[in-house]
Each structure stands twice: as C-alpha cells, then as structure tokens.
Amino acid sequence: MTSLATDQIAQAWDNLQSLIPVSPIRDEQQYDQALEKLHELLDIVGNDERHPLYEVLDTFGTLIRAYEENHYPASSVTGVEVLKFFMEEHQLDASNFPELGSDETVFELLDGKRELSVENIRALSKRFNLSPATFI
C-alpha cells in the first residue's frame, strides 16, 4: 500500500469516526452510546441486508456482542425464557404483544414451536429497552 493510499484511508477513517465512532467498546458509557446507535440504525435499516448502512449496523452488533461477552457472562437462558420472565413480572399475556403477531403466533413462540425472528427480537428489545442480545 502506498503512502498516498494510507493517507487517504486515515483521512476517511477520521471522517467516519467524527460521524459515528466505530471502535472496540471499553466502558459502560461507550457501551450505552453504541446501544443507542444500534437502535437508531435498526430504525433506519431494519432487516434490509441491502441497505447501505447494513454493514455499519452489523459492525455495531459485533462490537456490542464482544463487549457483552466479556462483561456480562452469558447464561443458558433462551430469548423465549427471558420473554416468559418479563411476561410474568409485568403480568402480561399473549394479547399484550401485537408486535410479535397474533395471539396464536405468540403462543407458538412460548411453546417452542417457533423461534424468535430478527423482527421479534428487535420489537422485544425496544419494548423492554434491552440489548437485542438479551433475546438471542
């Protein structure tokens, strides 16, 4: 790589970092900021893998997951088990989750006949103000 290319890459990186910091997460403040950006990107990109910002969304997901794996040890609890816990804690039933689909769909999720989709995970993450990783 020539020094001109290196200089161009450095300038492009500085420009990107001034708009949206993309680097390993080192503390809770950076983690919270990254989660905020992830949610913003989810609102814009959704699950459209052809969206121009999809790779940025994916990168934030990777950075957040790396931080969470190091700072929040994973448990053997499934996303559906987390959902069941919140339903019990907040005295909710299937009819309280129109964002997941019909009551029948919610029952299928709870019975293990369906898995949580990306859209389901996104909706639950927003509803309970948690990282999407909570439901994965």
65 lies in the same domain as 92: no
Q: Are residues 43 and 96 in the same domain?
A: no
Residues 8 and 26 in one domain: yes
Total number of domains constituting the chain? 2
Half-sphere exposure of 93 (CA within 13 A, CB side): 3
CATH code of the domain containing 94: 1.10.260.40
* Residue 132 · residue 37 · CB < 8 Å: no
Instruction: Quote the mean pLDDT of the chain.
Output: 89
Q: Given the structure tokens 């969206």, which residue do they identify?
A: 51
Model's pTM, two decimal places? 0.54
7 SS3 class: helix
pLDDT tens track for 7-38: 898 898 888 888 888 899 999 999 999 999 99
Domain housing 43? 3-71
